[in-house]
Amino acid sequence: MTTLRKLALTVLAAITLSFVAIAPASAYAPVDIVHTERVQVGPYAMTVGFSTWPIRAMKSLDFTFMPEGGIADKSGTYRIAGPAYHSWKRGAPFVRHPRKRDSWGLDILAINDPGNYSFIFTLDGPLGHGEGTLDGIHVADQPGPPLPLSWTIASLPLLGLIAFLAVCWRRTRPARQPLPL
């Protein structure tokens, strides 16, 4: 076998092994449900799962909605009512959770304002139409310092960079009057 063929086989083997090793790393992380609530939606019992508990404002989390018996022969809508959702009058249709395909869900939703929220559900399936509400979901204040303080602290390096660039520009391209430092 020539040296060129050996090199080509070695490169091909390295590329193949790289693709085999990358495949598991690129898979989605599973949804970890840490808290569940049960709600009766007409004739259907539904489990609502939360990936973070307690819920905090402006912190993203996953919601899963799993009716008893699965989602195969059912359809429905959900609506969130609370301080951050005053104008949400119509229900949004249930869609499969992108990382937990056997249930409906919301991926990385963040509720902006603290307060008490309700989830209003409607389901249609073989047992007929059903409506139900999950009340009393409390969303606590945002974690960490207040947003104005966070933005002020985060903008200090940018302001320092702007001041540094202004001084450098003045020193390399002086105006008519020298800059007193």
Q: pLDDT digits over 126-173, tens only?
A: 999 999 999 999 999 988 888 889 999 999 999 999 999 998 888 877
In 3D space, the residue among 49, 42, 43, 91 whose CA is nearest the CA of residue 66 turns out to be: 49
Q: d(Cα 139, Cα 16) in Å, to the nearest integer?
A: 48
Report pLDDT for 89: 73
Q: pTM, whole model, 2 decimals?
A: 0.68
**CATH number of 35-139, picked from 1.10.10.60, 1.20.1050.40, 2.60.40.10, 2.70.40.10:** 2.60.40.10
At 3 the three-state DSSP class reads helix
Q: Looking at the DSSP assignment, which residues form a beta bridge with residue 80?
A: 119
Q: d(Cα 95, Cα 55) in Å, to the nearest integer?
A: 22
Q: pLDDT digits over 88-121, tens only?
A: 778 889 999 888 888 899 888 888 889 999 999 9
Q: pLDDT digits over 16-51, tens only?
A: 877 777 766 655 667 778 899 999 999 999 999 998
Report pLDDT for 115: 92
Question: Could you state, in order of their start, the residue ranges of all structural domains in the chain?
Answer: 35-139, 144-173
Q: d(Cα 120, Cα 86) in Å, to the nearest integer?
A: 14
Provide CB contacts within 8 A for 115, sequence distance 6+: 82, 83, 84, 138, 139
Q: How far is C-alpha 31 from the geometric centre of its chain's CA atoms?
A: 11
